[in-house]
Amino acid sequence: MHMPYDSRETRSTAEREADIFARLASVIEAAMRAPTYAERLRGIDPRTVASREALARLPVLRKSELPALQRADPPFAGFVPAPPSAFGRLFTSPGPIFEPEGRGPDPWGAARALHAMGFATGDVVLNTFSYHLVPGGFMIDSGARALGCVVIPAGPGQTEQQLEVIAAFRPVAYCGTPDFLKIILDAAAKAGRDASCIKKALVSGAAFPKSLQEDIAARGIDAYQAYATADIGVIAHETGARAGMVVNEDLIVEIVRPGTGDPVPEGDVGEVVVTNLDPHHPQIRLALGDLTAALPGPSPCGRTNLRIKGWMGRADQTTKVKGMFVRPEQVAEIGRRHPELKRLRLIVTREAEADAMTLAAETAAPTDALKAAVGATLQDLTKLKGAVDFVVPGSLPNDGKVISDERKID
């Protein structure tokens, strides 16, 4: 059971990489037909972006920039080559960020994830993601329908009516947040109504802590997590193996040092950066602000694509110190100016009623001269004085934190 959706999921990494980078040039070309991508990628010859190393040299587009950019140049800030009228549906998501829906029967790439979770033709699916304004509901709706499932477009809330449609249609599957699944199951139990028809679930959009996983499993439901965003769609998903999340096909996922576009060493926690392979709606190195880490090797389920741990927190660690913004980009710039340094972590604390900061820096060759130089660079870039504390390489935690705000909130 839970067989691969198609042979692309189990091809060798070399084959997948060759396929991806054979297609990427035309996607970059398409992106450059949009004015803002054209400006940001000026001088790039798309044909030369034929490897992950070459891709890593392209600028990232931070999702956090998009609200202001789109406000100044609505609706898409010049990042979409086609006009809004060329799409089927138009959405918004918190920010606000505005996004179009891609083409085809499964524009958000959800069918593959649902298939990996055991969803099949004829399954009746209770879809409680919202269809209103945001793309979540349609993501699942189109993916499930592409698989031949039958969808109850339930949306969130209205628990009483959810119980009514469960009684009438006996859905075998649930899609929505894990919390709302629990709300429905608890409401059914309390009202003495039978919701035992639900046997499997795709959950997303919120944390799914161990205790809740156990609670749901104890009720006979196989629930799997997906990692999806409103701009890209389904980025990665669990499979029957329950061994991390497998990255979706037709995407290039990179994990970078927050504040940079530089891939982290394999296994390090970093920010998710996604490039899609959709020439109609190309997205090149979109930095999503989410933290994750790669897992080594292929999934035991046989899928060979990159595996990630799933959502590990927010990457955007911009904070204010003594009233001044301090950004991960500035910490990354310190590393670039001093190649002797490995991992860096700016620790912000509160001492004697004032903000204080210390740059913890991994280096194999600590010297007083280097310490003074790094301190000067820190002050130069942040306009703030801070201490520098050398530590041995590998001793800083692998949690993706570049700025660790350790001030107690009063």
Binding part of the chain for a second copy, among 85-93, 109-117, 274-282, 390-398 by CB under 8 A, reads: 85-93
H or E segment and range at residue 167:
helix 159-169
User: Is 87 near a second copy (CB under 8 A)?
Assistant: yes
Tell me if 181 sits within 8 A of 146, measured CB to CB. Answer: no
Residue placing its CB nearer to a second copy in the complex, 7 or 85? 85
Contact set for a second copy, span 249-288 (CB under 8 A): none
* 6 Cβ contact partners less than 8 Å away, ≥ 6 residues apart: none
DSSP one-letter string for 386-406? -EEEEE-TT-S-SS--SEEE-
Residue placing its CB nearer to a second copy in the complex, 96 or 267? 96
Is residue 373 classed as helix, strand or coil in its secondary structure? helix
Binding part of the chain for a second copy, among 153-161, 305-313, 325-333, 368-376 by CB under 8 A, reads: 153-161
User: Is 201 near a second copy (CB under 8 A)?
Assistant: no
User: Is 142 near a second copy (CB under 8 A)?
Assistant: no
User: Is 119 near a second copy (CB under 8 A)?
Assistant: no
Tell me if 283 sits within 8 A of 57, measured CB to CB. Answer: no
Is residue 363 classed as helix, strand or coil in its secondary structure? strand
Tell me if 172 sits within 8 A of 142, measured CB to CB. Answer: no
User: Is 130 near a second copy (CB under 8 A)?
Assistant: yes
Binding part of the chain for a second copy, among 161-169, 192-200, 266-274, 358-366 by CB under 8 A, reads: 161-169
Give 85's strand partners.
none
Among positions 3, 18, 167, 387, the unique one binding a second copy when judged by CB under 8 A:
167
User: Is 180 near a second copy (CB under 8 A)?
Assistant: no
Binding part of the chain for a second copy, among 51-59, 119-127, 314-322, 375-383 by CB under 8 A, reads: 119-127
User: Is 96 near a second copy (CB under 8 A)?
Assistant: yes
CB of 81 to a second copy, least distance (A): 16
Tokens of 94: 């918190």
User: Is 354 near a second copy (CB under 8 A)?
Assistant: no
User: Is 311 near a second copy (CB under 8 A)?
Assistant: no
Q: At 45, which amino acid appears?
A: D
User: Is 402 near a second copy (CB under 8 A)?
Assistant: no
Among positions 133, 191, 372, 376, the unique one binding a second copy when judged by CB under 8 A:
133
Alpha carbons within 13 angstroms on the beta-carbon side of residue 124 total 12
Q: At 372, which amino acid appears?
A: A
Give CA–CA dist 314/289, Å, rounded.
6
With 0-12 / 13-18 / 19 or more C-beta atoms within 10 angstroms meaning exposed / middle / buried, residue 112 is buried
Tell me if 100 sits within 8 A of 281, measured CB to CB. Answer: yes
Give CA–CA dist 350/408, Å, rounded.
8
Closest CA to 50 of 308, 267, 252: 252
* 319 Cβ contact partners less than 8 Å away, ≥ 6 residues apart: 325, 326, 348, 403, 405
Residue placing its CB nearer to a second copy in the complex, 76 or 208? 76
CB of 96 to a second copy, least distance (A): 5
Among positions 34, 140, 151, 287, the unique one binding a second copy when judged by CB under 8 A:
151
The phi-psi region of residue 259 (left if phi > 0; otherwise alpha if psi is between -120 and 50; otherwise beta) is left
Give 349's strand partners.
356
User: Is 332 near a second copy (CB under 8 A)?
Assistant: no
User: Is 124 near a second copy (CB under 8 A)?
Assistant: yes
Residue placing its CB nearer to a second copy in the complex, 179 or 399? 179
CB of 24 to a second copy, least distance (A): 28
User: Is 371 near a second copy (CB under 8 A)?
Assistant: no
Residue placing its CB nearer to a second copy in the complex, 43 or 122? 122
Binding part of the chain for a second copy, among 10-18, 91-99, 186-194, 345-353 by CB under 8 A, reads: 91-99
- Number of residues near a second copy (by CB under 8 A): 38
Among positions 88, 105, 220, 397, the unique one binding a second copy when judged by CB under 8 A:
88
Give CA–CA dist 238/224, Å, rounded.
6
Give CA–CA dist 24/30, Å, rounded.
10
Alpha carbons within 13 angstroms on the beta-carbon side of residue 393 total 7
User: Is 146 near a second copy (CB under 8 A)?
Assistant: no
Residue placing its CB nearer to a second copy in the complex, 176 or 244? 176
Q: Which residues bind a second copy (CB under 8 A)?
A: 70, 74-75, 84-85, 87-92, 96, 98, 122-124, 130-133, 137-138, 141, 145, 150-155, 157-158, 161, 164-165, 167-169
